[in-house]
């Protein structure tokens, strides 16, 4: 047997920009908040709190079936439009909605609370169409993936200049923080919607990232009794493949249900999880794949 040269395992490089500085910038202390500030804050904090790609963030809507806040603002249940397919989703194998917890300090909303930032931005842009969540603060046009990525980079540059950031690194930061809190590669894989754990370990896990007080990929800053952030439904390929058939969201879509055919679970924006069997028939949506 001879000696064979091999390549070292690839390890994701920690971003050069400082998350602490960016989050400090987003508090906007002493700055009169305008819509542009609320947009920056809501976009970055939700990108961090969900770990969504720019394409997923652009596919978020204001329909209450897909962006639902609890009455006391303790959490936000959110998912992209059902007409959207993420990079590694299939029409019959979808990523479930994500429950984003609030960030509280001494019983009050922390300045970096993603739920409060979401509510403040939606209230400030109340006249916008519910078909999209994020809109250009000047033109009023919806923000698409490229604009979302550009704005995320601009927020990072404003908070920590001269680092040439990549918008996709926010997803890696969120996933790495979630791993530091849950210590479970499998759980982070499910939260991030990856098909395998190797994708997360080799491309997104930043080993030198320090703990940071923020909500990251559905996990709160501290988890005394296990993770609180969770997917409402998960991936169908894990234990038993299920079809996720969604009805078209009407303008008032509060009663729209997510049906997991074959699992016997039903999720409603108003009712939460209902594990009782059901016999409803829902027409499947035509979907568009975006990367």
Q: What does the DSSP assignment read for 61-125?
A: ---TTTEEE-TTSSEEEE---TTEE-TT-BTTB-PPPEEEEP-EETTEE-TT-HHHHHHHHHHHT
Asked whether residue 226 is assigned to any structural domain, the reply reads no
d(CA 44, CA 104): 18
Asked whether residue 210 is assigned to any structural domain, the reply reads yes
Asked whether residue 52 is assigned to any structural domain, the reply reads yes
pLDDT for 271 equals: 34
By the 8 A CB rule, do 263 and 96 touch? no
Asked whether residue 40 is assigned to any structural domain, the reply reads yes
pLDDT band, residue 211 (cuts 50/70/90): confident
Taking residues 249-274, report their average pLDDT. 33
pTM score: 0.74
Q: Based on the structure, what is the number of domains in the chain?
A: 1
List the CATH number of the domain containing 58: 1.10.443.10
Judged by average pLDDT, the poorest of 12-16, 106-110, 225-229 is 225-229
β-sheet bridge partners, residue 139: none
Q: What is the pLDDT of residues 162-203, one digit of tens each?
A: 988 999 999 999 999 999 899 999 999 888 888 888 888 888
Asked whether residue 152 is assigned to any structural domain, the reply reads yes
pLDDT for 275 equals: 31
Asked whether residue 251 is assigned to any structural domain, the reply reads no
pLDDT band, residue 11 (cuts 50/70/90): low
Q: Specify the higher pLDDT residue, 94 or 260.
A: 94
pLDDT for 281 equals: 34
What are the DSSP calls for 1-65, one per residue?
------PPPP-PPPPSS-HHHHHHHHT-TT----HHHHHHHHHHHHHHHH---HHHHHT----TT
pLDDT for 147 equals: 98
State yes or no: pLDDT of 50 exceeds 80: yes
d(CA 122, CA 42): 9
The mean pLDDT of the chain is 78
State yes or no: pLDDT of 252 exceeds 90: no
d(CA 41, CA 66): 20
State yes or no: pLDDT of 274 exceeds 50: no
> Which domain covers residue 60, as residue numbers?
19-79+99-221
Q: What is the pLDDT of residues 128-146, one digit of tens each?
A: 999 999 999 999 999 999 9
β-sheet bridge partners, residue 84: 288
The helix or strand, by DSSP H or E, that contains position 273, with its residue range, turns out to be: strand 272-274
Q: Specify the higher pLDDT residue, 120 or 193.
A: 120
Asked whether residue 253 is assigned to any structural domain, the reply reads no
Asked whether residue 291 is assigned to any structural domain, the reply reads no
pLDDT band, residue 96 (cuts 50/70/90): confident
pLDDT for 291 equals: 39
């Amino acid at each position: 047997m001879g000696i064979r040269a091999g390549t070292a395992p690839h390890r994701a490089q920690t971003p050069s920009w400082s998350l602490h500085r960016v989050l400090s910038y987003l508090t906007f202390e002493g700055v009169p908040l305008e819509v542009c500030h609320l947009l920056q804050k809501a976009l970055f904090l939700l990108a961090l709190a969900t770990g969504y790609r720019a394409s997923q963030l652009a596919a978020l809507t204001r329909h209450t079936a897909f962006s639902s806040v609890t009455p006391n603002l303790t959490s936000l249940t959110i998912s992209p439009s059902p007409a959207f397919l993420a990079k590694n989703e299939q029409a019959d194998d979808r990523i479930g909605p994500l429950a984003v917890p609030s960030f509280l300090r001494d019983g009050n909303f922390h300045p970096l609370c993603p739920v409060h930032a979401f509510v403040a931005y939606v209230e400030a842009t109340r006249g916008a169409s519910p078909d999209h969540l994020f809109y250009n603060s000047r033109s009023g046009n919806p923000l698409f993936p490229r604009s979302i990525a550009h704005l995320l980079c601009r927020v990072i540059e404003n908070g920590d200049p001269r680092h040439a950031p990549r918008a996709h690194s926010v997803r890696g930061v969120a996933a790495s923080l979630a791993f530091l809190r849950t210590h479970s590669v499998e759980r982070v894989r499910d939260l991030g919607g990856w098909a395998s754990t190797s994708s997360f370990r080799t491309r997104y896990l930043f080993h030198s990232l320090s703990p940071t007080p923020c909500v990251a990929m559905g996990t709160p800053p501290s988890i005394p009794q296990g993770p609180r952030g969770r997917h409402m439904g998960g991936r169908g390929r894990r234990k038993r493949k299920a079809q996720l058939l969604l009805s078209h969201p009407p303008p008032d879509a509060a009663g729209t249900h997510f049906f997991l055919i074959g699992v016997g679970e039903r999720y409603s924006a108003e009712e939460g999880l209902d594990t009782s069997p059901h016999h409803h028939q829902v027409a499947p949506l035509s979907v568009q794949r975006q990367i």
